[in-house]
Amino acid sequence: MVKDSYDFSWEDLGNLEIGRPNLGNETSVAVYRLMQFTFKDVLSKELGKEKTSQLFIQAGLVAGREFCRNILNTSLPLNEFIAELTQKLVDLKVGILRVEKAEMDNLKFVLTVSEDLDCSGLPVLGETVCNYDEGFISGIFKEYTGKDFLTKEVDCWATGDRTCRFDVKPV
């Protein structure tokens, strides 16, 4: 397995059982979004909106690969792998994954994520906002298949839809 050029690893998350014996490993969605959207705001002011989106996609890619390596069973057949991914995302309260379309031969998918951690309930902003999720999904599929993937959000709560929809395909 080729080492990423990034220094992050799952172990960097620390031991939450020791570090948070009373509060546990969960927090509120509002606190998560507070961190994410303030990062986006500050980075956008410093680097521009496009570069910030690219960085969030890159961060999501690293996170997706680490998530896959440490949480998912990559030895499962694709259908079982996606079923496990779906359940883990629910268990971890990230969102409710659904496969709308799957072309198994060429690994093209249309996925939806409802009750998405990043955007469900946001006001209509006129643009998609789930750049991190795009990278996260690509990272999971890259780690599972060994191929690079491009994930593009085509529908988002912030565009007036009530679920996030992603086109996923190998590069």
CATH number at residue 16: 3.30.1380.20
The token pair at 168 is 């996923």
Strand (E) positions, the chain? 96-103, 108-114, 149-155, 164-170
| pLDDT score, position 4 | 60
Residue 98 within a domain: yes
Q: What single DSSP character describes residue 141?
A: H
Judge whether 1 lies within some domain. Answer: no
1 pLDDT band (50/70/90 cuts)? very low
Mean pLDDT of the chain: 95
Whole-prediction pTM: 0.95
Determine, yes or no, domain membership for 5.
no
> Could you tell me if residue 2 is inside a domain?
no
Higher-scoring residue by pLDDT: 4, 126: 126
Q: Which tokens is 55 given?
A: 């960085």
Residue 114 CB burial class (10 angstroms; 0-12, 13-18, ≥19): middle
Question: Do the domain assignments include residue 144?
Answer: yes
Does residue 53 lie in a domain region?
A: yes
In a domain, 157, yes or no: yes
151 occurs within a structural domain: yes
- pLDDT at residue number 151: 98
Q: How many domains does the chain have?
A: 1
Kindly state the average pLDDT of the residues 1-14. 78
Residues 55-83, mean pLDDT to the nearest whole number: 97
Q: Which domain range does residue 76 map to?
A: 11-170
